[in-house]
A and B are shown apart, each in its own frame.
Chain A
Amino acid sequence: MPDKVEKKLVVVRSDVLERISEMAKKENKTLFAAINEILLDALKANEARANVGDLTTFYKLMKIEMDSGAVMVPAEILLKLIKRCEYNDELKKEWFMAGEWYGKYLTAKFERPLEVLPSLLSTCLWQLSEVKVEVREGGTTNVNIIAPNTDQHLLELTGKYLEGLMNALGYRAVKSDIVRGVAILEFLKKL
């Protein structure tokens, strides 16, 4: 005779439960089995000292970034390359164009790309301590970056990248103030 499984009741949102119930039926699983499976998987996230909500959000944003053609590079290598290359307008133009392409990609993928931008930038530009995107009334959008440990050239190139990105979203740069570790960028909606 199989051992009796001890059970406990937990409270859940009924709309969420209905969806899970439908999905379990499709997979010929009991609701009890499906729920336990999901919770056990979610507990695995906790083993890594993360929570499942944060990890799935992080994954979603990373996926957008990787699908758009971003690559993971050791930070040290990127800095070496920037130092060894001729830091000129041509290089800045390339980063502007890369940002522009990314802006077009976001426009094609999202109905309101400006809404996803703050979480995308703050999650995926993790080398920067803080990225704040503020959409203001009157068609102005500000992007403020705090990155005291980031190389000045990389910060400037990131600024160019954001200018390209915003250009593709229909904004032109009206202010680009980049000093050591801080970037204040202001954009105005194009008429």
Chain B
Amino acid sequence: MFTKAIKLKRKFLAARENVADKVNEIAKESGRTVFSIVNEALSAFIAAKEAGRTLLSIIEEGKNAQLARNAGMILVPEASYDSLLESCAIVPRIYDGWKSAGTVFGKYLYVNEIHEDTESVETALKEVIGGNPDVAFSKEKLVCISPRLGVKQTEAVSAFLEGLLQSLNLTVTAKEVSKGIIIITFKQEGE
């Protein structure tokens, strides 16, 4: 039996020395070849471009989703979750749970040094809230608009955001919540 090996054509290309050295270092650490690392990066760039995205934004979103996963979040079909939420009469305790999940997520942002960059925090929140919401995070206000959210889910997200702000040492001074719209104002603790 014959097997036909496909020989990939290779070419040399110039990169900045410090960048090439770093790639080389990673290759050694991970036991991979420089060739595979460089091609993986270039192929990922092409795939990102074809999806109308930048490589960096995809890397950031991938990292954020992993953060959420590590912080104890799971993916659930929205319809199933909504029906569970609607059928539960309670819910203050559920909101407490969302608040503590926000606290944990905030700590993850802190540990990963994302908390100081408002744009990165916005991207991370968009990923976790889902449904492509508008999120604006400034020095004293956090606004989240997502018409897709139902009343109870808006309350849940609001509790999550409150927990997140608290874990970043920000004190909530006012909160306005109505279906799909959350506006939270806050100040630095001790101000």
Residue pair A39, B38 in contact (C-beta under 8 Å): yes
* List of A residues within 8 angstroms of B85 by Cβ: 81
Report the interface size class on chain B.
35 or more
Whether, in the assembled complex, A65 has its beta carbon less than 8 Å from a beta carbon of chain B, the answer is yes
Residue pair B79, A94 in contact (C-beta under 8 Å): yes
A31 to B15, CA, bound (A): 9
**A52-B44, A74-B73, A84-B88 in contact; A15/B9 too (CB < 8 A)?**
yes
Quote the shortest CB–CB distance from B58 to chain A (angstroms): 5
Type the 1/0 row for B61-82, where 1 means its CB is closer than 8 Å to any CB of A: 1110110110011111111110
Q: Is the interface of A mostly helix, strand, loop or mixed?
A: helix
Whether, in the assembled complex, B1 has its beta carbon less than 8 Å from a beta carbon of chain A, the answer is no
**A6-B16, A71-B81, A84-B88 in contact; A55/B42 too (CB < 8 A)?**
no
**A39-B19, A66-B130 in contact; A14/B77 too (CB < 8 A)?**
no
Report the interface size class on chain A.
35 or more
Whether, in the assembled complex, A108 has its beta carbon less than 8 Å from a beta carbon of chain B, the answer is no
A50 to B9, CA, bound (A): 28
A157 to B129, CA, bound (A): 23
Whether, in the assembled complex, A188 has its beta carbon less than 8 Å from a beta carbon of chain B, the answer is no
Quote the shortest CB–CB distance from A130 to chain B (angstroms): 16
CB < 8 Å: which of B16, B75, B100, B128 contacts A36? B16
Residue of A nearest to B30 (CB): A51
* List of A residues within 8 angstroms of B77 by Cβ: 69-71, 95, 98-99, 101-102, 161
- Chain B interface (Cβ within 8 Å of chain A)? 8-23, 26, 30, 34-35, 37-49, 54-56, 58-59, 61-63, 65-66, 68-69, 72-81, 83-85, 87-88, 90, 93-94, 97-98, 100-101, 112, 127-131, 153, 156, 160
